[in-house]
Amino acid sequence: MLRQYKTIKEQYQDAILFYRLGDFYEMFFDDAVTASRILGITLTSRDNRNKKNRVPLCGVPYHSASTYLAKLIKAGYRVAICEQVEDPEEAKGVVKREVVRVVSPGAVTEEQILDDKTNQFLASVCFDKNWGASFLDVSTGEFLLCEHDSSEDLIDEIQGMAPAELLIAEGEDNNPVIRYLDISCLTRRPSFWFFRENARETLLEHFQITNLTGFGCENLRAGINAAGALLTYLKETQKGHLEHIERLTPIEKEDVLIIDDSSRRNLELVQTILGGAREGSLLHTLDLTVTPMGARLLKRSILFPSRSPEEINRRLDTVECLCKDRKSKQSSLTETRDRAAGPDSARNKPLRKELRKLLSAVYDLERLNSRVVLGNAGGRDLVALKKSIAPLPRLCELCRRSHGLLEEGSRQLDVLEDIHALLEKSIREDAPPGLKEGNLIKPGCNSELDELVSIVNDTKRHILAMEARERERTGIPRLKIGFNKIFGYYLEVGKAWVGNVPEDFIRKQTLVNAERYITPELKEFEHKVLSAEEKSLALEYRLFVEIRSKVALASSRILKAASFIARVDFFTSLAEAALNFNYVRPRVNGDQKISIKEGRHPVIEHAMPPGKFVPNNIYLDQESQEVLIITGPNMAGKSTVLRQSALITLMAQVGSFVPASEAEVGVVDKIFTRVGAMDDLRRGQSTFMVEMNETANILNNATDKSLVILDEIGRGTSTFDGLAIAWAVSEELVNKNGKGVKTIFATHYHELTELARIYDRIRNFHIGVREWNNSIIFLYKLLAGGTDRSYGIEVAALAGVPGHVVRRAEELLGHIQKDEFNSQGLPGIARKTGKRSKKKAGQLQLFQESTDSLRDKLKDLQPDNLTPREALDVLYNLKDQL
């Protein structure tokens, strides 16, 4: 057996091998050591002939294996499941075993592991002239690919999809993409899997097509290579069928609003920066979906909003249509009248509400479908699938009455009536989880099965009759007929009555206070019952598999319905949010203008009592007001107004209504944010380095159609370094390519307000505070004009810094401010003692040019070549220049 184990293990070296032994999956050697540690199960050992070669071993029971499997997968391991593939009773020698499936973090269909609101992607990357990646969710069948010119863009794309496993070619570990990404499960496979010919051939063969033009990706290279390799890998691990993967979709770049990874995190789109929680993110606030498909679509739409005004407006039309009961709420009189009008008044029940009610009965149709296709679906899965498609006809009817994308979608919707009828007729609602215990198929579905079942039932009734008869014949009152697996049917007689047992009773078993017997008649029945039962179980299983295969053939139709359901859910959820949270429809167009009236932060407003959040206006365009410099003390609300402007723009481009009283959004192509001071310890970079990386990325990639949010740039270094960098960055942003970039810049360097004097398109704003009794009150209102103070000390006092420290700071501030500007109007903070220290003066180069020319002259001077007279002249000369 160990020899067999070793041969199999040889082929699955990078996986933990679950080796089926009776009712257990056993693990040996290193696998056992690893698994026992992760699973917290006992590691034992088995004597392999002599003591020296003890084999470490541990095992998990077959019936609860999935929990253990889930733990290993979540820990980033791969598990190869090796089953007995022949009947142990018929086997000669060691039972034949085979690996039937490899479960890896990126290729899971187990419910225990999947999060129903998130896609579980397996990804692969490839470099071939440019950067390509491919993504596949085995549990839903989605298969995507993309290409980018730069590795940074590719990294952003991959981080957005957050794959659970990344496939790469062997020897690629030094690839920049792989070095930068932090993915717990890296899988290496031969590089020829990624060669164009192999990869393309694999795809063509799988989809049964002759070229990839139909999928719109024939002209891609690196992306195709990545996709082909991914499919090869999946064939290796899944063994079973992959028919539910029926389309390869290029990720559209032209139409997508690009948000780089740090902006995604800074804006807390799908999780918070601290702790990575879902709660507190934009997604969490907006997600009122009721199906897993809808939740996944919403998440994806938030991570990849659109940039096409036409598409966005179509989405907004659809949401608006679903919001329609807003009017009827106001005119409740007409509503009452309509309700009294008769049966047709159902139409007045808000469409949205009715759709949501229907959707709430829908399970994860995409994942159910995948389990059907992969042959893992049980009776309960088919029942859930039936319930999930049951609302389709009504859903279709309702959508047909609406406008926009849902009405369009409903026109070609296949409501799967045949599949529903098939399942309704055949699968029992109370089907057990397993497939071998029967109770799967409804009566009346198959006559042979009905007959077998009736034999079983009849015989049972017969046995009850026999029990009564035997009691009467023998006069033993408590005689009963029972069944156990080893002895089969028996007659049981209490010890006290053993004397009354007739001669034809054959004794089989003795218990403490009873004896068990059989009779020829009982044996005969037993045979009939058992064979009928066995046959019926086998038949049920066969019928079930047949039905499941029929459903599998409808896979592509089911997936289309699932995608329709996802859209209905997505749009009704957006409508529900719009109504619940008092959002308005933004005007979206291709102009270069963003105008938000009374905008609110979609997440923070919920953390406050209603009405407490102070709304603010933001206006940006390319002619008069392109760069906003926002000053104000800490805690004034600068970061909040910055983020809310980015979030409102983004929400509009998702197709959502927005938290404002009015909004006009000229679509932006990219949103960049540089927010807060967060050490990125994971990547081993200091705060300042991260900050400068992000700044460099913005300056290199922002276009005149982008929106840039800068929060406190240059904080991680000395004041003058920081100020100088902030100044130069602002200049670049307002000048970039002659057009500039729409930017909102929050800063506590009030010196930056000077920029507005030099550049027309830079405008100053500040957040209002009122000074009161030596303290300040925050007004949270964004007002025109800059501030000349930072109020840092007041905030320190509010934060509880001891009084004497605050007073000392005030005193010091007085000294510093007195010296803040020297006689030439240049910042003088660096001057500590009356005399200017040379070292610090070096930091003032930005503002002081005259010292430079002196320095240059001195540098060029060669004292050895000067006559005493010349030297004296030079000295006078230099002195004159001071």
Q: What is the largest CA-CA distance in the chain?
A: 147
Q: How far is the CB of 608 from ligand ADP (least distance, A)?
A: 6
140 binds Mg ion (CB under 5 A): no
Per partner kind, with CB cut-offs from 5 to 8 A, the member of ligand ADP, Mg ion, none near residue 193 is none
Question: How many Cα neighbours within 13 Å face the side chain of 84?
Answer: 18
Pick between residue 177 and residue 767 the one whose CB is nearest to ligand ADP: 767
Per partner kind, with CB cut-offs from 5 to 8 A, the member of Mg ion, ligand ADP, none near residue 398 is none
- Beta carbons within 8 Å of 357's beta carbon, 6+ residues apart: none
Other CB atoms within 10 Å distance of the CB of residue 474:
16
Q: Shortest CA distance to 651 belongs to which of 627, 671, 677, 624?
A: 671
Q: How far is the CB of 827 from ligand ADP (least distance, A)?
A: 23
Per partner kind, with CB cut-offs from 5 to 8 A, the member of ligand ADP, Mg ion, none near residue 780 is ligand ADP
Cβ(224)–Cβ(203) below 8 Å = yes
Separation CA 347–CA 335 (nearest Å): 11
Pick between residue 572 and residue 747 the one whose CB is nearest to Mg ion: 747
Residue nearest to Mg ion (CB): 639
Per partner kind, with CB cut-offs from 5 to 8 A, the member of Mg ion, ligand ADP, none near residue 25 is none
Q: How far is the CB of 574 from ligand ADP (least distance, A)?
A: 24
Q: How far is the CB of 802 from Mg ion (least distance, A)?
A: 24
* HEC-encoded secondary structure of 414-445: CCCHHHHHHHHHHECCCCCCCCCCCCCECCCC
Cβ(256)–Cβ(156) below 8 Å = no
Per partner kind, with CB cut-offs from 5 to 8 A, the member of ligand ADP, Mg ion, none near residue 133 is none
Can you give the length of the chain in residues? 882
Q: How far is the CB of 626 from Mg ion (least distance, A)?
A: 22
Q: How far apart are the first and last CA of the chain?
A: 94
Pick between residue 493 and residue 642 the one whose CB is nearest to ligand ADP: 642
Structure tokens at 454: 């009736």
Structure tokens at 336: 């009452």
Per partner kind, with CB cut-offs from 5 to 8 A, the member of Mg ion, ligand ADP, none near residue 659 is none
Contacts by 797-801, CB closer than 8 A, 24 or more apart: 798/635
Residue nearest to ligand ADP (CB): 637
- Is the four-CA dihedral 711, 714, 719, 720 of positive or negative sign? negative
Pick between residue 525 and residue 778 the one whose CB is nearest to ligand ADP: 778
Pick between residue 586 and residue 633 the one whose CB is nearest to ligand ADP: 633
266 binds Mg ion (CB under 5 A): no
CA distances from 227 to 104, 162, 576 (A): 18, 17, 38
Question: Residue 289, SS3?
Answer: coil
Pick between residue 616 and residue 639 the one whose CB is nearest to Mg ion: 639
Of 230-238, 633-641, 693-701, 765-773, the segment contacting Mg ion by CB under 5 A is 633-641
Of 59-67, 315-323, 340-348, 637-645, the segment contacting Mg ion by CB under 5 A is 637-645
Pairing of strands 258-259, 670-674: parallel
DSSP state of 346: G
Pairing of strands 165-169, 122-128: parallel
639 binds Mg ion (CB under 5 A): yes
DSSP class per residue in 492-533: EEEGGGGGG--TT-EEEEE-SSEEEEE-HHHHHHHHHHHHHH
Separation CA 209–CA 556 (nearest Å): 16
Q: How far is the CB of 637 from ligand ADP (least distance, A)?
A: 3
Of 271-279, 403-411, 442-450, 632-640, the segment contacting Mg ion by CB under 5 A is 632-640
Pick between residue 372 and residue 604 the one whose CB is nearest to ligand ADP: 604
Q: How far is the CB of 9 from ligand ADP (least distance, A)?
A: 56
Pick between residue 567 and residue 638 the one whose CB is nearest to ligand ADP: 638
Structure tokens at 399: 């959508």
Q: How far is the CB of 603 from ligand ADP (least distance, A)?
A: 11
Q: How far is the CB of 617 from ligand ADP (least distance, A)?
A: 12
Pick between residue 322 and residue 726 the one whose CB is nearest to Mg ion: 726
DSSP state of 272: -
Pick between residue 223 and residue 632 the one whose CB is nearest to ligand ADP: 632
Per partner kind, with CB cut-offs from 5 to 8 A, the member of ligand ADP, Mg ion, none near residue 613 is ligand ADP
Per partner kind, with CB cut-offs from 5 to 8 A, the member of Mg ion, ligand ADP, none near residue 745 is none
Per partner kind, with CB cut-offs from 5 to 8 A, the member of Mg ion, ligand ADP, none near residue 722 is none
Of 331-339, 636-644, 819-827, 839-847, the segment contacting Mg ion by CB under 5 A is 636-644
Separation CA 469–CA 463 (nearest Å): 10
Give the residues lining the site for ligand ADP (CB under 6 A): 604, 613-614, 632, 634-640, 780
Q: Shortest CA distance to 313 belongs to which of 599, 585, 668?
A: 585
Cβ(596)–Cβ(669) below 8 Å = no
Separation CA 363–CA 387 (nearest Å): 8
Of 210-218, 250-258, 359-367, 631-639, the segment contacting Mg ion by CB under 5 A is 631-639
555 binds Mg ion (CB under 5 A): no
**Main-chain dihedrals φ then ψ at residue 21, nearest 5 degrees:** -135, 100
DSSP class per residue in 14-76: TSEEEEEETTEEEEEHHHHHHHHHHHT---EEEEESEEEEEEEEEEEEGGGHHHHHHHHHHTT
Q: Shortest CA distance to 526 belongs to which of 484, 474, 468, 473?
A: 484
Cβ(653)–Cβ(306) below 8 Å = yes
Separation CA 322–CA 574 (nearest Å): 9
Q: How far is the CB of 189 from Mg ion (least distance, A)?
A: 46
Per partner kind, with CB cut-offs from 5 to 8 A, the member of ligand ADP, Mg ion, none near residue 130 is none
Per partner kind, with CB cut-offs from 5 to 8 A, the member of Mg ion, ligand ADP, none near residue 163 is none
Pick between residue 574 and residue 630 the one whose CB is nearest to Mg ion: 630
Per partner kind, with CB cut-offs from 5 to 8 A, the member of Mg ion, ligand ADP, none near residue 640 is ligand ADP
Output b/e per residue, 48-68; b: 16+ Cβ within 10 A. Answer: eeeeeeeebbbbbeeeebeeb
Question: How many Cα neighbours within 13 Å face the side chain of 71?
Answer: 13
Pick between residue 681 and residue 799 the one whose CB is nearest to ligand ADP: 799
Per partner kind, with CB cut-offs from 5 to 8 A, the member of ligand ADP, Mg ion, none near residue 183 is none
Q: How far is the CB of 259 from ligand ADP (least distance, A)?
A: 20
Pick between residue 668 and residue 767 the one whose CB is nearest to ligand ADP: 767
Q: How far is the CB of 598 from ligand ADP (least distance, A)?
A: 11
Pick between residue 727 and residue 791 the one whose CB is nearest to ligand ADP: 791
Percent of the chain as helix, strand, coil, to the nearest 5: 50, 20, 35
Q: How far is the CB of 711 from Mg ion (least distance, A)?
A: 6
- Is the four-CA dihedral 675, 117, 181, 259 of positive or negative sign? negative
Per partner kind, with CB cut-offs from 5 to 8 A, the member of Mg ion, ligand ADP, none near residue 635 is ligand ADP
Pick between residue 321 and residue 635 the one whose CB is nearest to ligand ADP: 635
Pick between residue 639 and residue 843 the one whose CB is nearest to Mg ion: 639
Per partner kind, with CB cut-offs from 5 to 8 A, the member of ligand ADP, Mg ion, none near residue 379 is none
Q: How far is the CB of 687 from ligand ADP (least distance, A)?
A: 17
Interface residues with Mg ion (CB under 5 A) are 639
